[in-house]
A and B are shown apart, each in its own frame.
Chain A
Amino acid sequence: MSQDASTPSRPVPITDPATAPFWKAASQGELSLPRCEDCRRVHYYPRAVCPHCSSESLSWETLSGRGTIYSWTVSRRPAGAGFKPYVPYVVALIDLDEGARMLSNVRTDDVDSVAIGQAVRVDFEDMAEDIALPVFRPA
């Protein structure tokens, strides 16, 4: 499934002040997450208070976009009409090199070739103004 086939009928994130920078960075081709200035950990998903140490001192950091697959599944049916063109598609948990774990898709022509521990790198699919979906491809 190519980037051009992104369909507006997939659910488009409804952003809020703490999350809009994440989606906007993605629309500019960067994977960006808050890093806590107290405990120094990156967290996902972005929020106004660090879930690791409850600090409110956070700053956005552009990440490498590299990670490994922690686990994965293949949706053999669509999760709503917007996903029909993608079936079958891989949904995976990605351990980012910087430490956070995120749910995303792994785009590949061979869904059966995906494996835990596989190295992946980020790519982006435009969804709306200032919103792109970070997805991953085999590195």
Chain B
Amino acid sequence: MTREVVIAGISEAGLDKGVFAEPVSVLDVQAQCATRAVADAGLTMADVDGVLTAGLWGMPGAGTLMPLSVVEHLGIKPRFIDGTNIGGSAFDAHVAHAAMAIERGYCDVAVITYASDQRSASGRNLAGKPPHLNMQFDSPFGLLTPIGSYALAAHRHMHEYGTTSEQLAEIAVAARRWAQLNPAATKRDELSVDDVLDSAMISDPLHKLDACLVTDGGGAVVVTTPEKLGTDARKKAVYVRGYGESVSHWTINSMPDLTTTPAAHSGPAAMRMAGVSHDDFDVVQIYDSFTITVLLTLEALGFCKPGEGGEFVSGGRIAPGGAFPMNTSGGGLSCSHPGMYGMFLLFEAVRQLRGDAGERQLDKATTALVNGTGGGLSSTATCVLSNR
């Protein structure tokens, strides 16, 4: 008999205009958030015996053996450590890995941490990786990173199915409308389909406003088993009912089919484990590095058929008041995007399932799907979460 697994605590670092409101190092952000997330679960750092982390900071250097730096900074001695880094979906995969460790009794209380100061440190650029190993066949051609890979997928999807730039823009507009209900969101001013189409073309057919924000960000998630929790923490715990992950490539020339993301594997695996189907979800949180990421993921997960994504997201269906509540924080497109956004999908799913989402709270939020995407449409991790 395996143990039940819950997300029992979350903490997200506050931002002001996209940069850390409290200026501290990426290690201190993680220590602060880990401590606060553990407190949110009614526990202390002394209870933590598992640490999972990923990020892009301090390399080469302190970030090279990232889990070691994080554990050292937290001042604990975990018996379960995981530094899986598969891009922005890593933290959603960490939930799966923590769940497996907890189910088996390998650890009891796991904390997942992340921080990025890419905005305040101006650490983001469009250039590729050093041209060695597999990247010697990528970087010399000047594909913009990461938008170029997504642009290639978008053009292919338009060619195969007639998807339009207007349909992609609807995804950015819906995200903005959700962000307008979220006081913590970075971008809350009005946005129209025309605004998206009139923004600068960066990598055809994707415009500047088809792309996510570039912000700082950090946080922590506590995964444990209900028996470790007090009465109050148990009441607000969110159950991890299913999980799945999949990776197929990094460089875009090795992606088998540009219109099918690995979510076609991770999604069904997670839903099968949870014993749920598409109609069971009250809210979904879909990684939105770019508008096309959302469209491809909805199709890969089976919320609509291949080629129907453009129509699916149109007409306000995914906006506030629509039939398909999605990315209710405003997502990476309008709330925040620190480079690896997968943990923020979990934050918003937990808030909705706890009833803590303020003005954007859905009337019914019992079961949620989270799907992270990382690399260049390279990796996905799907979680099915439920508040009972």
Contact = CB atoms under 8 A, between A and B. Distances in A.
A70 B206 CA distance: 17
Contact of A76 (B134, B204, B258): B204
Contact of A103 (B130, B131, B144, B253): B253
A116 B155 contact: yes
Nearest to B155: A71
Nearest to B204: A74
A108 interface: no
Interface stretch (A34-42, A56-64, A83-91): A83-91
A25 to B, nearest CB: 14
Nearest to B152: A71
A76 B126 CA distance: 11
Contacts of B144: 73, 75, 77, 79
A19 B136 contact: yes
B10 to A, nearest CB: 36
B133 A11 contact: no
Q: A71, A104, A105 — which one has the most chain B CB atoms within 10 A of its CB?
A: A71
A80 interface: yes
Interface stretch (B110-118, B195-203, B275-283, B322-330): B195-203
A62 B127 CA distance: 31
Dominant secondary structure of chain B at its interface with chain A:
mixed
Given A44-B253, A71-B155, A71-B159, A14 B145 contact: no
| Chain B interface bracket (under 10, 10 to 19, 20 to 34, 35 or more) | 35 or more
Contacts, number: 117
B252 A78 contact: no
Dominant secondary structure of chain A at its interface with chain B:
mixed
A116 B127 CA distance: 25
A1 B125 CA distance: 24
Contact of A14 (B132, B153, B159, B253): B132
B142 interface: yes
B251 A75 contact: no
Contacts of B133: 16
A125 to B, nearest CB: 10
A22 B202 CA distance: 31
Contacts of B206: 73
Contacts of B142: 10, 75, 78-80, 82-83, 86, 89, 91, 105
Nearest to A92: B152
B151 to A, nearest CB: 4
Given A14-B132, A19-B136, A75 B148 contact: yes
Interface of B: 125-128, 130-134, 136-145, 148, 151-153, 155-156, 159, 200-206, 251-254, 258
10 contacts: A13-B140, A14-B132, A15-B136, A72-B155, A73-B206, A75-B144, A76-B200, A76-B203, A78-B126, A116-B155
Interface of A: 10-16, 19, 44-45, 70-80, 82-83, 86, 89, 91-93, 101-105, 116-117, 127, 133
